[in-house]
């Protein structure tokens, strides 16, 4: 198990409860002798904190562990910044569902954190997706996502016509509101609401979920995680669609553009408490029946 001495803290802005949890976490870690580095944005609203400050991007270079206080959206942003540094990330849930941020900010938070710092944790490797948009064969924009890359109409309500290629092989021509290309991590997010399957995080696979397709026979497709996926936006489209990465970065596209999506070489090192159970998380977050058969 790794030794964590330099610990970064990232907090979601706009929440009084997040700031309270960050203060409590900072105080505990300092009292226990750890070196704490605060993300600059959360540090700005905590005057008199007395801690070292760093950008989110730099935290990956100077920290042994980064703790994210917020919801899954906060962790998504941290994942994209920290994955290339192989920095372990631990989440304290101050959001809603909390599939990724799984330590509760209750009275036992310090005990749960200390157990992780003592080496009692589970480590998972989660892969990210790289997206590239090309126009006339020239790259115009790139993005990355832990959950999903989504082609959608943007502010328009029109359908999008596009062609799907997997590993260079033509799959089909599609008319739909768009396409969700999701990692296993993202299968419990937007892809799930679109009718996609729940995928265990350890799977090396990508799921493609069409959004309100024009044909009833169009269904989600699960492909190998190393597949190259290409969406070619039809030249005749009147809509100028958008590609969104984790719902946080948005790339405007035009008819004729090609969107290529593939697995990112760097993975997120996600830390869970020792008792973490993916199926228990699904039961709790998705309201599945909790009792077993008698």
pTM over 0.85: yes
Q: Say yes or no: 33 and 99 in one domain.
A: yes
CB within 8 A of 210, min separation 6: which ones? 174, 176, 178, 179, 180, 194, 218, 219, 220
Q: Are residues 240 and 134 in the same domain?
A: yes
Q: Are residues 87 and 35 in the same domain?
A: yes
Instruction: Exactly one of 64, 72, 108, 224 is catalytic; name it.
Output: 72
Structural domain contains residue 56: yes
Q: CATH number for the domain including 234?
A: 2.60.200.30
pLDDT digit string, tens, across residues 10-62? 999 888 999 999 999 999 999 999 999 999 999 998 888 889 999 998 999 99
Inform me whether the pLDDT recorded for 221 exceeds 80.
yes
Q: How many CB atoms are located within 10 Å of the residue 253 CB?
A: 25
Element (H, E) at 22: helix 16-31
Burial class (CB in 10 A: 0-12, 13-18, 19+), 155: exposed
Residues 148 and 209 in one domain: yes
Q: How far is CA 28 from the centre of its chain?
A: 28
The answer to whether residue 280 sits within a structural domain is no
Q: Which residues are annotated as a binding site for NAD(+)?
A: 72-73, 147-148, 158, 175, 177, 188-193, 248
Cβ contact 92:116 at 8 Å:
no
103 plus 134 within the same structural domain: no
- Asked whether residue 147 is domain-assigned, the answer is yes
Residue 230 near residue 258, CB atoms below 8 Å = yes
72 labelled catalytic:
yes
Annotated binding site: 72-73, 147-148, 158, 175, 177, 188-193, 248
CA atoms of 211 and 74, how far apart (whole Å): 25
**Count of structural domains within the chain:** 2
164 in any annotated domain: yes
Whether residues 184 and 232 share a domain: the answer is: yes
Structural domain includes residue 249: yes
pLDDT at 107: 76
Q: Domain span at residue 236? A: 128-265
């Amino acid at each position: 198990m790794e030794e964590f001495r330099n610990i970064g803290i990232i907090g979601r802005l706009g929440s009084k409860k997040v700031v309270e949890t960050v203060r409590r976490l900072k105080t505990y870690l300092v009292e226990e002798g750890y070196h704490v580095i605060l993300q600059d944005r959360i540090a700005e609203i905590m005057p008199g904190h007395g801690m070292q400050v760093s950008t989110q991007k730099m935290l990956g270079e100077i920290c042994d562990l980064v703790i994210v206080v917020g919801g899954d959206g906060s962790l998504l942003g941290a994942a994209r910044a920290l994955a290339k540094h192989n920095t372990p990330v631990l989440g304290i849930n101050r959001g809603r569902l909390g599939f990724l941020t799984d330590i509760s900010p209750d009275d036992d938070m310090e005990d749960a954190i200390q157990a992780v710092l003592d080496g009692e944790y589970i480590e998972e490797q989660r892969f990210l997706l790289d997206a590239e948009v090309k126009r006339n064969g020239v790259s115009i924009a790139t993005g990355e996502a832990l959950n999903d890359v989504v082609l959608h109409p943007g502010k328009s309500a029109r359908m999008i016509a596009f062609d799907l290629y997997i590993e260079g092989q033509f799959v089909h021509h599609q008319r739909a509101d768009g396409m969700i290309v999701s990692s296993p991590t993202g299968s419990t997010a937007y892809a799930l609401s679109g009718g996609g399957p729940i995928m265990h995080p350890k799977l090396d696979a990508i799921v493609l979920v069409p959004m309100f397709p024009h044909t009833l026979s169009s269904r989600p497709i699960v492909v190998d995680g190393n597949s190259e996926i290409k969406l070619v936006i039809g030249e005749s489209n009147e809509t100028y669609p958008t590609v969104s990465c984790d719902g946080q970065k948005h790339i405007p596209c035009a008819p004729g553009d090609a969107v290529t999506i593939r697995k990112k070489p760097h993975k997120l090192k996600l830390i869970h408490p020792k008792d973490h159970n993916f199926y228990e998380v699904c039961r709790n977050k998705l309201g599945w029946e909790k009792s077993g058969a008698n």
